[in-house]
Structure formats: C-alpha cells, structure tokens
Structure 1
Amino acid sequence: MSSASEGRFHTADVSWITSGPRRATLRTSDGIPVEARYEPCEQGPAETAVVVAHGFTGSLDRPAVRRAARAFAQRAAVVTFSFRGHGRSGGRSTVGDREVLDLAAAVAWARELGHPRVVTVGFSMGGSVVLRHAASHEGRTEARTDAVAAVSAPARWYYRGTAPMRRLHWVVTRPVGRLVGRYGFGTRIHDRDWDPVPLSPVESVPLIAPTPLLVVHGDRDPYFPLDHPRSLAAAGPCELWLEAGMGHAENAADDALLARLTAWLVPG
C-alpha cells in the first residue's frame, strides 16, 4: 500500500443529470473508479454540500449511510460514495491509506456541481480518512474541505487493544481473513503492507487548523476506547463530543446525534 503523491481528481461517466438525485462514477487521481451519489438539499438550492465517508465494510447503499444522508439533506446537499474495494467501486481497500484519493474525488465532484462550501464527515475508517484529507489538501481549491467531523475515528494505526480490532486485523492481514472480507462482507482488501506508512490521524490533526474540526466518540465504542478521541482532541484545535451510551460509527449514530451533526456542519 502506498501514500504516493496525489494529483488532480477527475470525474467520469455521469449516468443521469436531473434536479433530483444523481449517480456517477468518479475517477480518482490513481485511476480507481468510485461509485457516488448526489442528493440535493430537501429545502431547495444549498450553498453547502456534505460529503459522507463510511466505515470499513460499508458502502453508499448501506442503511446506516442512507439514514445519515437523509438527515444531512435536511439542510445541505449530500454526496455519498463507496470507498475503493467496497460496494460497486473498483480497486481494493487499503484500509485508510489511498482512500484519501477517493474522498478527494468526491469533494471535487461536489464543487463541480456548484457548491461553494463543502464539508466532510467520516465514520470509523472514514473518520481517519477525513482527518488525513483535511490535513493534506489545505489550499487545493477543488479538493479542500471547509469543515471536518470525525466520528468514532482511531487516533493511531495498528491498534489491537480490543477484541473487535484484533478480529479486524486478522481479516486484513491473513489470506483466509481477506477471503472472509471479500465473500462475507463484500470488501476486497489489498494484500500488501503500507509502504510508506501514511500519516496517522493524530499526526494529521495539527495540520488541519484553521479548518473547523469536530471529534465525536461514544463511551461504549467496542473498537476504540476513549483515549483515542482524547488524543485527537489534545493534538490540535477541535471540538470534542463524548457521547454517553453510544457505540461505534454510523450504525450507532442515532437521529438526535445526526441532527446535532447536521447543525454543526451546516450552521445557521
């Protein structure tokens, strides 16, 4: 896996253009086709578009992602997409490394569709990706983000301190595990180690300012304990929400939390 230099981001194959939802295949700077969906704001034309980055083994069509998209669409346009190796996107998952290119293509598409303000929200693996993206795209007009929310994100790589994370590492690192990922979870996983190791989420946080940053984490998250969000919050300027009773990522984000996230991402 590689964090090679990132160039421009291209879109291709827009399947249909109307005033309602649109589907497209986006082309990343390293040539991976990424499925994406655009939904206009339910209240009419909106300045802001929210780009949603799902967790590992997710996709744009998963019920929890669709529920989040409906909540954000109350006040903004919404772009959802499937990371490489997930859903109908091409390529293989690098579990948070080159996925930054997938997010950048989705952000660039939102700007091409006419939204002057584009914000990102990511869950779990997607949370790590939105942090790294915001740290690496400051000043790049077409792919930059105007605000970032990371929900249930890890602070550091290679964490194995919980049983769910030990199982995830088995899926990612073992040949049999990758077969389970492909046929059990519909996720195609790259078989090579990161080279070089990408900047970690906690190393990314200091590079995000002055872009507004929100870190959200549940106190019952079975994957990443509370030292992860606290480490992220201590690394640079951000707002931290520790949610009582919340589990992990988009599946645990209830309607009340999604409404608060919407208000933070699209104020006013």
Structure 2
Amino acid sequence: MPLAPSFAAMLMTEDGVRIDAAHTPSRGAAELGIVLAHGFTGSLRERPTRRIAHVLSGFGGVVSFDFRGHGRSGGESTVGDLEILDLDAAVRHTRMIGYTRVAVVGFSMGAAVAVRHAGWHGQDGASGESAPRPGRPDAVVAVSAPARWYYRETRPMRQVHWAIEQPLGRWAARVGKRTRIRKGVWDPVPSAPHEAAAHISPTPLLVVHGDADDFFPLDHAHQIYGAAREPKELWIEPGYGHAESAATPALIRRIGEWVAAGP
C-alpha cells in the first residue's frame, strides 16, 4: 500500500529556530490532529516514521516534524530540553490549520519531550490562566519514554551518551544521522519526564512500553505512570523493542484508536 501524501511546512519556534514539518491529511476524523514526535537521531523522512504517520492518518490528520538539530530543521539538538519549543510550534500549527482536537504521539526522546511539554502547559493552567494556551495538547501518548535523565545502565544508552558527550560521537551523529548536537551540559537541568508527568492531568496520558526494550527497562514506564494522575493508562507490550523501528502497524492502530476515542 502506498504511503499517504504529505505536504511540507516550515515552522518557527518561540526562540527563533526553523522547524521542518509535514502534514499528512486525515483519512479519518476531520477534527482530530495528531502530532508525531520522533526519537533521537530520527526524522520525519525516515521510513518507520512515515509508515507510522500513514497508519495514524486513518484516525486523524498527522503533523510530523524534525526536532531542532535533526534533518532539515535549524539549530542544534539539546536532547530533550529546548525541544519542548519545537513540539509547541507543531501543536500550535496543527490547531492553526483547522484541527480542533490535538493529540501528541512521541517516541523515545520525542516521548520524553511530549510528557515534559504537556506538564509545562499543565503548570501554566495551575497558575490561574483563564484559558489554555494554544500549544496545550488534548491527549499525550508516550512510547518507549525514558523516565529520568543520564540513564546509562544499558549498552545502547552508553552509546547514546558517547554520541552526545564526545567530539567524535557528535561528528559521527552529524555525518551518519544528520543530527547536530549542542556541546556542553544542561544548565539548568530540565525537569525529568517523571517529574513533569505529575502536572499533565487532566490531559489524558497513555504510556506504552515494550518488555523487550533494550534502551530503557520497564521501570521507566512504571515511574512515569506512577507519577501521573488520572486519567492515565499503561500498556506493557510483550516482545516490543524500542521506539519507531520496532512499532508494528497493529500497535500503531491501537494507539490511533485510543487517541480517536477521546476522553
């Protein structure tokens, strides 16, 4: 089956970074927009991401984008910190083009950003704003998300940290994966996903994690889920590995059905 056509867009973040994006029109509910947030070193142009966008477009329109420092987007990757501004621009764009209900589906780093972004807006709402900001999502799905930063207990994550922290690693990521990573350390350290999860409610949260994930073991999913308040769901998927590359069409359809069902 051919992949659904998509239409290019260029977004601008609040801090002035150009974000490359694409809109796959809905083959399902006309009012539902789904923002697709890829993992570290991923891209909207990679085939796993495009296939996920195609499946999700059966439930609503899909806006996929490249985080800063990835692909054709500007800037440098901060590996989960300032990326909340990229996601915010994508959610706002999704509303601007006419979708009245917007869900975010994130994978790995994109899942951590999705949780942090929704928690950021949740804190805004708690501070007494009279109306939600346009960037606030109506639902969040976090697939293969890390719960905390600086995790190095698995071999793949030690390799990720090498790519982030070492000059040779950053060069390899730039040449091999078109990912430009900012030098230096976070200052200040951003809130961890499990901390942000406490502020997402009343936005519904779905946490999805595989029991064969070789990057982040299941305790990450349980930590995020345990910190979040209702409404929330936790799916532990037998045999599922990590993020986009391991996601089956059947799992993505189930996620699409959950999003389309609404609160």
Q: TM-score under structure 1 normalisation?
A: 0.90
Which consecutive aligned stretches of 4+ in structure 1 deviate over 2 angstroms post-superposition? 138-141
| Paired residues for 1:177-256 under 5 Å | 177-237=169-229, 238-256=232-250
The reply to whether residue 37 of structure 1 matches residue 29 of structure 2 is: no
Aligned to 1:164: 156
Of 127, 145, 150, the match for 2:137: 145
Q: TM-score under structure 2 normalisation?
A: 0.92
| Stretches of structure 1 lacking an aligned partner (at least 5 in a row) | 1-19
The reply to whether residue 103 of structure 1 matches residue 87 of structure 2 is: yes
| Paired residues for 1:26-175 under 5 Å | 26-43=11-28, 46-138=30-122, 139=125, 140-175=132-167
Q: In the alignment, residue 192 of structure 1 is paired with which amino acid?
A: G
Give 1:142 shift.
1.3
Counterpart-to-counterpart distance in 1, 2:233 and 2:134: 26
Counterpart-to-counterpart distance in 2, 1:246 and 1:97: 27
Give 1:22 shift.
2.3
Structure 1 residues 67-103: Cα deviation after superposition (integer angstroms, max 9, x where no partner): 1101110010100000001010010000000000000
Counterpart-to-counterpart distance in 2, 1:245 and 1:35: 33
Give 1:115 shift.
0.9
Counterpart-to-counterpart distance in 1, 2:18 and 2:223: 34
Paired positions, count: 248
Q: In the alignment, residue 90 of structure 1 is paired with which amino acid?
A: G
Give 1:153 shift.
0.3
Provide the aligned C-alpha RMSD in A: 1.1
Counterpart-to-counterpart distance in 2, 1:221 and 1:117: 31
Aligned to 2:260: 266
Counterpart-to-counterpart distance in 1, 2:240 and 2:24: 28
Q: In the alignment, residue 46 of structure 2 is paired with which amino acid?
A: R
Counterpart-to-counterpart distance in 2, 1:46 and 1:65: 22
Structure 1 residues 9-65: Cα deviation after superposition (integer angstroms, max 9, x where no partner): xxxxxxxxxxx742111010000000001111124x611100000000001111111
Identical positions, percent: 53
Counterpart-to-counterpart distance in 1, 2:61 and 2:249: 18
| Stretches of structure 2 lacking an aligned partner (at least 5 in a row) | 126-131
Counterpart-to-counterpart distance in 2, 1:126 and 1:267: 22
Counterpart-to-counterpart distance in 2, 1:265 and 1:168: 31
- SS for the counterpart of 2:198 is helix
Counterpart-to-counterpart distance in 2, 1:78 and 1:162: 33
Counterpart-to-counterpart distance in 1, 2:6 and 2:227: 38
Counterpart-to-counterpart distance in 2, 1:236 and 1:110: 25
